[in-house]
Structure 1
Amino acid sequence: MSDEKHGEPNPIVNALSNTIAAIRADDDQLELAKAHEALHPKAIEKLSVQEARSQPTVADAVKHLLMQQGRATDPTALVPGVRATPLSIDTDSGPLPATVYTPEDATGQGAELPVVLFFHGGGWVIADKEVYDGGARGLAKQAHAIVVSVDYRQAPEHKFPAAWDDALASYRWLTQFASRIGGDARRLALAGESAGGNLAVATAIAARDAGLPLPRHVLSVYPVAQTSLNTESYLENAIAKPLNRAMVKWFVDHLVRTEDDLADPRLSLIDADLRGLPPVTIINARLDPLRSDGAKLEDALQKAGTPVQRREYEGVAHEFFGAAAVLEKARLAQAYAGDRLRESLAV
């Protein structure tokens, strides 16, 4: 196989995926999908890890679309009034790089702000906090809170449960040192997208079990919540973009040490003890293999007596949440998430 053809999507499946999207997706979601396609992403499930990490992301597609529209691409122009500064979080496994997003109108007022610890997506294998800047920055603005977006260790170099250990260590650090970044350690929340949506819920459980102060809220955006690839939405969106069923299998295969890890309640959240957790907000996209995961997690939380709200957004796909610069539903979802967080984080 020539280098040019290596990792190319199957042309028939690709055409079918595009046809289905043209029927089901909102116009602006379709424009974003076309912008992503113009960057020639390869099929991640056919690539090595290093190759997969260099593929164009949805964040790249947002930037490409903004340029096509003749609009600014600078994050500070897209989400004005939020300042980003680097941070290093010390953990037993070493320092973790993080970005602190602070609403600028809050600085200099003396009062400490609530803090949201945010975990990026990428299947625990690819992507980083930079790729998920749009979601984290938008939450800082909408929740009027400091958002700390952390880069946890990734598989396959660091297999399950390294990312979960780092997530808990980051939260533990915030419970002790939130004041260093102008935050109020009594008003913490957890948030994340996709793989990070799983980490947000799992960290709340781990904090409860470790006797740490509980977060006030958990925001889980299109989380991985179980490990079967045969749910309704996996079958319905098997060839969806930008996430498909084969990609999820590729991520999980690189993540786990043995098949036994698939049953671990940190990965299969619907099998965890979900009692005594703070209010949870789940956000799902209709055109996403992970939609059923969110619905199953909502059911499991309700059965455990944990307060939960879930919203499903029609006409948008996985990764939509951080694309508020170009997607109307992303703007609505970020505003909803901000409202939910503000309510729980109020003094």
Structure 2
Amino acid sequence: MRFRAFIQDFHMAKFLQVSAAALGAALCASAYSAPASTPPKAEPHMQKVLDALASLGGKPIDTLTPDAARKQPMPADAVKKVLADEGKSTAPEAGVTVREMTVKGPHGDFPVHIYTPEGKGPFPVMVYYHGGGFVIADTAVYDAAPRALAKMAKAIIVSADYHRAPENKFPVAPDEACAAYTWTLEHAAAFNGDPKRVAVGGESAGGNLATVVSIMARDQHAPLPVHQLLVYPVVDNDMTRPSYVQNVAAKPLSKPMMAWFFKHYGADPTSAMALPLKNADLKGLPAATIVAAEIDPLLSEGKAYADALKQAGVKVDYRLYSGVTHEFFGMGAVVPKAKEAEQFAADGLIRAFTK
């Protein structure tokens, strides 16, 4: 398949690898240039999650090694604490089955987790990329989001556990994101999916990978995803944007954390493929659903990317949720606005799948 050949030499054709030290210096020069500001106030349900996260005693991720950072309490742990404190079940939402398969990628094998809703297929499919700044987290941490989307959109969600930086620096993550997409096109029928209805989506760093896959498919005249779901995507490295100034010390994602993630990711800070907002040509990309959170350093760049897509003639459904933070998506069990956002995302997928 032509797209597979492209994946195999993708990093040779499209990317310039730079050292983590050089990238860290470039980013940190702007990361602390603005005075501290107070983030907007979280709404009560969101604040309960933030309080629970604080009670778990995690250390600031930007002060730790990547290995230590991966062991810190995550927002998903805070959600479970809220549920437990309220006497509610912390078990995964029913109505979805999950199985693991293996993708042979250009940098070695990696797992994908296939979330299948109840009912009779073949089902439409979305390839999903989890967040974590390309450095921390995995599908298990983000389980609630693909599980909710599978159930709400009546679609199979293929969640890719791409190799993480700094052990596997850029362009490993986008290489493997492409491999997961190609593998899904080729194997969807084997797990009751429809290979003609395949979307991509992700949160934060995963949103970056979803839109990068869309751009690469377009540029190589490969089969385009039918839709891209971008939940507060990382698309730029400009830390002077208003949301970075306002949310410099926000929880659970702050400005210093983003500098730390970029440093360990090790990408070229000028690359339009690493940072899609730098791409001069966004024409011909799939329609997008974009979810934004008010208390998030990435808010401004996400809105700028939505505007750039619209200016390029791409259909965009953008929605900003007030009073909630980065990572709120997937918290539908305890944060009503998260449930609303999950339904908004699922509705966008359903429309794309039924065209």
- Please, what TM-score do these two structures have when normalized by structure 1? 0.89
* 1:90 and 2:107 are equivalent in the alignment: no
When structure 1 is superposed on structure 2, of 295-304 and 183-192 the one drifting more is 295-304
Judge conservation of contact 2:200–2:228 (CA < 8 Å) in 1: yes
Superposition deviation, residue 73 in structure 1: 0.5
Deviation track 1:294-324 (CA, whole Å, cap 9, x = no partner) reads 1110111012111111100000000000111
Match of residue 178, structure 2, among 140, 163, 168: 168
* 1:207 and 2:217 are equivalent in the alignment: yes
Counterparts of 1:122-271 in structure 2 under 5 Å?
A: 122-257=132-267, 261-271=268-278
Match of residue 288, structure 1, among 296, 305, 328: 296
Which residues of structure 2 form unaligned runs of 5+? Answer: 1-35
Match of 2:10 in 1: none
Judge conservation of contact 2:106–2:175 (CA < 8 Å) in 1: no
* 1:53 and 2:70 are equivalent in the alignment: yes
Match of 1:318 in 2: 326
Which residues of structure 1 form unaligned runs of 5+? Answer: 1-16
Superposition deviation, residue 214 in structure 1: 0.7
Judge conservation of contact 2:38–2:246 (CA < 8 Å) in 1: no
Judge conservation of contact 2:38–2:247 (CA < 8 Å) in 1: no
Separation in 1 of the partners of 2:107 and 2:275?
Answer: 24
* Number of positions where the alignment pairs a residue of Structure 1 with one of Structure 2: 319
Runs of 4+ in 1 over 4 A off after TM superposition: none
Larger relative contact order, structure 1 or 2 (CA cutoff 8 Å, min sep 6):
2
AA in 1 matched with 2:250? A
* 1:119 and 2:126 are equivalent in the alignment: no
CA-based RMSD: 1.4
- Please, what TM-score do these two structures have when normalized by structure 2? 0.88
Deviation track 1:86-140 (CA, whole Å, cap 9, x = no partner) reads 1112223222111111002x2xx3x411000000000000111111101111110
Judge conservation of contact 1:172–1:212 (CA < 8 Å) in 2: no
Deviation track 1:236-293 (CA, whole Å, cap 9, x = no partner) reads 0000000000000000011115xxx011112221122211011011100000000011
AA in 2 matched with 1:211? H
Match of 2:23 in 1: none
* 1:101 and 2:115 are equivalent in the alignment: yes
Give SS of 1:24's match.
coil
Judge conservation of contact 1:237–1:245 (CA < 8 Å) in 2: yes
Match of 1:305 in 2: 313
Between the two proteins, what is the percent identity of the paired residues? 43
Separation in 2 of the partners of 1:248 and 1:266?
Answer: 18
Give SS of 2:269's match.
helix
Give SS of 1:262's match.
coil
Superposition deviation, residue 176 in structure 1: 1.0
Separation in 2 of the partners of 1:136 and 1:126?
Answer: 18
Judge conservation of contact 1:227–1:267 (CA < 8 Å) in 2: no
Deviation track 1:25-64 (CA, whole Å, cap 9, x = no partner) reads 1100000001101101110111111111100000111111
Match of 1:29 in 2: 46
Separation in 2 of the partners of 1:274 and 1:83?
Answer: 36
